[in-house]
Amino acid sequence: MENFRIGNGYDVHALAEGLPLRLGGVDIESPVGCVAHSDGDVPIHALCDAILGALALGDIGKHFPDTSDEFRGIDSCILLERTMALAAEAGYRIGNADITVALQRPRLAPYIERMRERLAGLMSAPVDAVSVKATTTEKLGFVGRGEGCEAYAVVLLVRA
């Protein structure tokens, strides 16, 4: 078993008026929210895919299919906990994680620290091992037009 494994993840959800917006396990005050089978927590989905990628265990759709009733409206924090259980089973813990969320509006700056704390707690990692960054796309593309939210995640797993 290697001492280190690296993985990356990416996720997108469309935005629509009047839906709740939950990102990084934190409720965001917003006129728009993610259209999704689960709660549409884009950064958590990217993070799960990064962890699964590091483990070479497929992707989030394989483990938590969006065709399954079990996962309808599910709190994505549960998906992250289950993904971490797979990492632990394989003998790994989080070394560090770095996440970028792209959203045109609302501004995420006031929520970043809470997201880091929440994600660190879910992954049993210290807060200083979890980075969350937010960006707009300068009004370019589907994110810039306010049609969707996307997130990228990179994780380093360390042998537990």
Interface with Mg ion by CB under 5 A: which residues? 11, 45
Bond preceding residue 65 cis, omega within 30 of 0: no
**For residues 5 and 159, is the Cβ–Cβ distance under 8 A?**
no
CB 40, min distance to Mg ion, A:
6
125 or 153: whose CB is closer to Mg ion?
Answer: 153
Indicate the burial class of 136 (C-beta count within 10 angstroms; 0-12, 13-18, 19 or more): middle
CB 76, min distance to Mg ion, A:
8
CB 42, min distance to Mg ion, A:
6
CA contacts within 13 A on the Cβ side of 84: 19
11 or 52: whose CB is closer to Mg ion?
Answer: 11
55 or 149: whose CB is closer to Mg ion?
Answer: 149
Distance CA 35, CA 106 (A): 16
11 or 74: whose CB is closer to Mg ion?
Answer: 11
CB 75, min distance to Mg ion, A:
13
Cβ neighbours around 98 below 10 Å, total: 17
> Closest-CB residue for Mg ion?
45
